[in-house]
Structure 1
């Protein structure tokens, strides 16, 4: 098979032009950033790609790969197994709010916020020093990059995976 380089180059240019002007969903942005490859794999395994590519609005607290790597050894691999899909969905929906919340929308001080995983709560503490999010295990994540805008919501990059647990998030 012979490939026509001019045709291939033209097709690539057309594809890049189309993509450059195309809308970017939360999933598109995450998939285009290597720092979120573990999150993207988890969202895919959980069957949430279509949901998070949908109209929203959503706020996603997006853990970077290092946050997943900091979990106990084998945790990510276990969560990605098909038989653990419900647990994976619970963890991932704990990172999503069904409203678009910019960092400036968080009330000053420590306040409860309801993620899509409605069985749980997050404690979001906003101050002049930044925003931190405490999960139901009592552990806190820091927002390291705020307000990445997508067509269907907003992303706040965090340095820890938020885990549902038995105790309330706010102290």
Structure 2
């Protein structure tokens, strides 16, 4: 039962993120923002979908590890901080809006706090259900995709 609740939380959270990201993306584009590097985005979606599917299939009925669950809960606090800081500028795509960059909150501490969070989540969430191999495989795959993503982000001309 606990595994099912954790998996349901992950699924609902990811769906909620997509809804929020789509909403913020639409509003940013309507304000004149420009999307950069959209070609790699389906790869990110496929990776996260496969990650979640593996957790759902192989984690169903597994015991929940309280230590990893606590670490995951702490990561959710970081997620809330990132969302609160970036507000309507948070999205899963590379969207650039004229004006000053956000320089407060976790952004002042980490260059890419959302990517740092995702790296941690991809490692920690499967471990909540004892799926170490899922954590390892998807951490490697995410590193490859993140290399493409960061290359695209770092090529963006901020402050147009």
Instruction: Give the structure, 1 or 2, with the largest relative contact order (CA under 8 Å, sep 6 or more).
Output: 2
Q: Which has the higher helix share?
A: 2
Task: Name which one, 1 or 2, has greater alpha-carbon Rg.
Answer: 1
Q: TM-score, normalised by structure 1?
A: 0.26
Q: Which has the higher strand share?
A: 1
Q: TM-score, normalised by structure 2?
A: 0.27
